[in-house]
Amino acid sequence: MFDSHSVASKLTKDVGSRIRDLREGLRLSQEAFADKAGLHRTYIGSLERGERNPSIETLDRVANALSVPLKDLLPEVKHG
């Protein structure tokens, strides 16, 4: 059976992990990255831990701050 809640939860965690990996690859602290993205440092921490479900607009700000296309933040999702 398809459980949309668990898929969404996994997706949120996967996106957060991807953001963290990209940020660390740029050797940016959470604070420096938050400043660059125009977001609060605690919000970035919550995103990276998968505790927040960001809007498309927020993901776009994050992608721009990381200098990557938005699609690079999203893991491939397979259903079924």
Which residue would you say has higher pLDDT here, 78 or 24?
Answer: 24
Q: What is the residue extent of each domain of the chain?
A: 32-70
Residues whose CB falls within 8 Å of the CB of residue 10, separated by 6 or more in sequence, listed in order: none
Give the residue-averaged pLDDT of 50-71.
96
Which residue would you say has higher pLDDT here, 8 or 4?
Answer: 8
- d(Cα 22, Cα 68) in Å, to the nearest integer? 9
Which CATH architecture describes the domain 32-70?
Orthogonal Bundle (1.10)
Token reading at 12: 């949120």
Percent of the chain residues topping a pLDDT of 70: 88
Give the residue-averaged pLDDT of 1-27.
86
Q: For every residue of the chain, which 3-state class applies, written as one string?
A: CCCHHHHHHHHHHHHHHHHHHHHHHCCCCHHHHHHHHCCCHHHHHHHHCCCCCCCHHHHHHHHHHHCCCHHHHCCCCCCC
CA angle 78, 22, 4 (to 5 degrees): 25
pLDDT one-digit tens code per residue, 7-17:
678 899 999 99
